[in-house]
Amino acid sequence: MSTQDLVPSPVGPVDVEQAEAALVERYPRLVRIAYLVLPPALGRNRRVLTAHALVQRSLPRRRVPDPGIPGPRRTEDAVDPGYAYVRGEVLRQALIAGLPLRRLALPRRAQFPPLLPHVWGLRLFPRVGGADELALDQRLSRLSGPGRAAYVLRGLERQGDPEVLRVLAAAGVEDPAEALAEADALDATDDPAGHAGPGRAGEPDGAPGAPDGTPGPGARAGRSDRVGEQGGPGRTGGRRGGGPGVGPGGPGSATGPGGPGGPARTREAVEGSAGGSAAGSAKGSTAGSAPPRRLSGAALLESDEFDPCALQARPTDLMRRRQHARAAFVAVVALVACGTLLGLPGDGWGRNGAAAPSYARNPAAEAALEPGAVKRVDPAVWPGATRQDFSVWPARGGLTGDSALLRRALAVWARPGGSVRSSATPGTPVGPPMGPPQLLFAGRVDAMRVVLFHDGLRAVRYAEPVEGTAGAALDFARTDAAETVGAAALVVSRAAGNVRYLTAPWVRETAVRDLLAPAREPRRLVRDGDGVTDPVPSPAQSGGCARWNTLQVRDREGVRLLTDLGELAPARLLWGPPASPEDATRPEARETWARTACRLTAVWAHGVRSVNAWRFARQPLPGGAGQAAWVCTRAETWRGTGSRVLAQFLVPSPEVPAALAARSEGSSACGVRNPRVLAGVLWQAPGGDWFVLAAGSPDFTSLETSGGVKGRSDGPLLTLRAKAGARADLAGTLRDGTRMNALR
């Protein structure tokens, strides 16, 4: 077979109106083609509806251009261009509908059940045929989709093999020859008596169309009954309009287009052809003649078994339909109830923003989440209050009257949804408030709406974007027993590496001081009318330790130094012995903090309330290298446990940062209850010699080492020669004789 035979059949230019006319005129035949090509595994009801749907959506959207100069074709293969185009679309969609759905492949429209036409409450299927039709349907089910298409084109449409190959190629079949071979195999099994199927040579009884067994008009040697030679389906033959099943020339007439024996023969006409008449027919039968032969598979394609336009109707499963109706009714009622809850004022979930659904209803809990019950302190209360803490902060901000914002903030506090970014300092409970909380602030800061609450134990910050509630944040910080300085400020915003503070009403001045530049004067920090400061670069969000900005506040009792450690409440910086520390504002304190501030990264996000630095010893260095200092840094938490202690060694050079000698968590050393500390380091002198240096607080009367380096000294200082990499155990004796190990 030449390459030209596999070129899709040129149909010429086709208008939408021409294709529509062909579809309406040949609608029953087109639906029969689709029904036969669709896989029988779909079921008869779905095959019927899908066949009608495929035909009804086979019209082109615009004019189909002429593909080029047609190749050589046989007379029986010529069809009306409009009908050829619609038939090709029907075949292409039917083949796609038979493909299985793949997990990773994009599904095609034809693979889904049709939306229209659709029938509710009824099952439709063609009339039941006889045993021959049933056997043919079973054999067709074993063919592939292209194989069924080839069989239908050859048997029902009476197309020659080259035209079948061209039509299959145009419909998207990858191997048309293989499909035709499948049809050949089925043809060989159509007639057990040995009669060949349509389109094959060797019909011994003559071609249909002549009752006496002689070849009909247009028959050719080597080809069986090819009624299409007189005028195939879709061509006018003698006159246009002989559509199948509609008047003369249709499947219900003995004379199809082009003359007797055409493709639109009735079953009776087919049974009366090919030299054997039907039972009861007076033509072509004599006494003693052979019994009627069986119909070929191609002839059976015209039977009612495969006519999806003549249908029977039966009800669906009535019991299951009743159960489904009840389930659908319950689902509709549930949806209506949910929609009603969403629209109800006061009890709906939609106004709660990013909050999760409410699972329990409790009068006390609901009262705590009511915006109207939120406590607001008058601005005139704090000057005459017995104590100054968060309980006397007035409600400030431009959105304190926004009930919708307060409702969302309270709802998210009680039931944070999965999209809420939540954080809490260690040891801080994150549950809903026990009662109506106190409102500290509600306003717009940067690009966020921010609400600050206080419930006596915790400070709670809720933030949401100005547009919508996606990306809401919720932060908890424990602030119980806060005094004047502990309640001096709260973090109200973090954005782009900067931090803004909301200061207490008793704060008179605010400034920014770089802890790493002790000699530099502080920079004035501007506040708005609500007490919100300008943005300050935060050390908690910087990548290195080039600077350490602290918040310096002045109240009526003095100047305080606060630092951001990545939490809602800034930590207070102190200086001095554990029994009587003071704010780290003196020059000596600032110089020491300048060399130890970078060690504050060890207590970030740890729930720190205050950090105290204490120089507990001074020690002369060997070889006249100067005098070193020993500093103990203790971070106290709001929860009272989990304190962290650092022992640091400072060489005489002020530009050199402190060296970490020891660290401990949960230790009582260097605190009010145990104001004692002991630590040691391995130090190299400028001349290259190595020494073990140790120092303790003034309460130590003697120190000694064991292990890699052994030695003893009276008093709280110890200096011993050692080797590089030496390790030693350090211990000391207090004035009361108690033995104490070094900080670990």
Q: Kindly state the tokens that stand for 131.
A: 């045993």
Say whether both 48 and 157 belong to one domain: yes
What is the SS3 assignment for 602?
helix
Residue range(s) defining the domain that contains residue 640:
592-741
Say whether both 334 and 430 belong to one domain: no
Q: Kindly state the tokens that stand for 265.
A: 């023969």
pLDDT score recorded for residue 131: 82
- Return d(Cα 77, Cα 71) in angstroms, integer: 12
What is the SS3 assignment for 179?
helix
Distances (CA, A) of 605 to 11, 47, 571: 77, 67, 11
Q: Kindly state the tokens that stand for 395.
A: 């409600």
Burial of 215 (0-12, 13-18, 19+ CB in 10 A): middle
Say whether both 682 and 718 belong to one domain: yes
DSSP 8-state assignment for residue 527: B
- Return d(Cα 240, Cα 460) in angstroms, integer: 85
With respect to residue 649, please indicate whether it lies within any of the assigned structural domains: yes
- Within the chain, which residues score under 70 in pLDDT? 1-13, 62-78, 102-106, 111, 125, 188-298, 341-362, 364, 468-469, 540-543
Say whether both 443 and 454 belong to one domain: yes
Say whether both 403 and 504 belong to one domain: yes
Length of the chain: 744
Say whether both 211 and 177 belong to one domain: no
With respect to residue 377, please indicate whether it lies within any of the assigned structural domains: yes
Q: Is the dihedral of CA 378, 383, 385, 388 positive or negative?
A: positive
Say whether both 411 and 539 belong to one domain: yes
What is the SS3 assignment for 605?
coil
Say whether both 493 and 439 belong to one domain: yes
Q: Kindly state the tokens that stand for 239.
A: 């006159």
Q: Kindly state the tokens that stand for 198.
A: 């349509």
Distances (CA, A) of 516 to 585, 626, 652: 13, 23, 17
DSSP states of 186-210: HHHTT-TTS---TT-S--TT--TT-
Say whether both 447 and 363 belong to one domain: yes
With respect to residue 505, please indicate whether it lies within any of the assigned structural domains: yes
- Return d(Cα 703, Cα 651) in angstroms, integer: 21
pLDDT score recorded for residue 483: 92
Q: 213 and 205 in contact (C-beta within 8 Å)?
A: yes
Final residue before a domain boundary, out of 301, 333, 348: 348
pLDDT tens digits, one per residue of 472-513: 999 999 999 899 999 999 999 998 889 999 999 999 999 999
Neighbours of 254 (CB within 10 A): 16
Q: 627 and 618 in contact (C-beta within 8 Å)?
A: yes
pLDDT score recorded for residue 541: 66
- Return d(Cα 477, Cα 566) in angstroms, integer: 11
pLDDT score recorded for residue 266: 31
Say whether both 199 and 212 belong to one domain: no
Cis link prior to 363 (omega < 30° from 0)?
A: no
Going by C-beta distance under 8 Å and a sequence separation of 6 or more, which residues neighbour residue 341? 347, 348, 349
Structural domains in the chain (count): 5
The pTM score is 0.56
pLDDT score recorded for residue 267: 33
Taking the mean position of all CA atoms in its chain, how far away is CA 140? 44
Distances (CA, A) of 717 to 75, 578, 680, 697: 119, 20, 10, 9
- Residues paired with residue 555 on neighbouring β-strands, in sequence order: 558
- Residues paired with residue 740 on neighbouring β-strands, in sequence order: 732
With respect to residue 4, please indicate whether it lies within any of the assigned structural domains: yes
How are the residues of the chain apportioned to helix, strand and coil, as percentages rounded to the nearest 5? 25, 25, 50
- Return d(Cα 34, Cα 55) in angstroms, integer: 7
Q: 73 and 163 in contact (C-beta within 8 Å)?
A: yes
With respect to residue 571, please indicate whether it lies within any of the assigned structural domains: no
DSSP states of 328-394: HHHHHHHHHHHHHHHHSTTT-SGGGTTBPPP----HHHHHHT-GGG-B---TTSGGG-SS-SGGGPP
Say whether both 329 and 367 belong to one domain: no
pLDDT score recorded for residue 256: 35
Q: Kindly state the tokens that stand for 650.
A: 């400072």
Q: 32 and 91 in contact (C-beta within 8 Å)?
A: no
With respect to residue 692, please indicate whether it lies within any of the assigned structural domains: yes
Final residue before a domain boundary, out of 333, 348, 363: 348
With respect to residue 297, please indicate whether it lies within any of the assigned structural domains: no
Say whether both 341 and 392 belong to one domain: no
With respect to residue 130, please indicate whether it lies within any of the assigned structural domains: no
Distances (CA, A) of 324 to 119, 283, 321, 330, 442: 16, 57, 5, 10, 51
Residue identified by tokens 């003697």 is 702
Dihedrals phi, psi of 207, to nearest 5 degrees: -80, 145
Q: Which among 530, 555, 493 has a CA at the least distance from the CA of 395?
A: 530
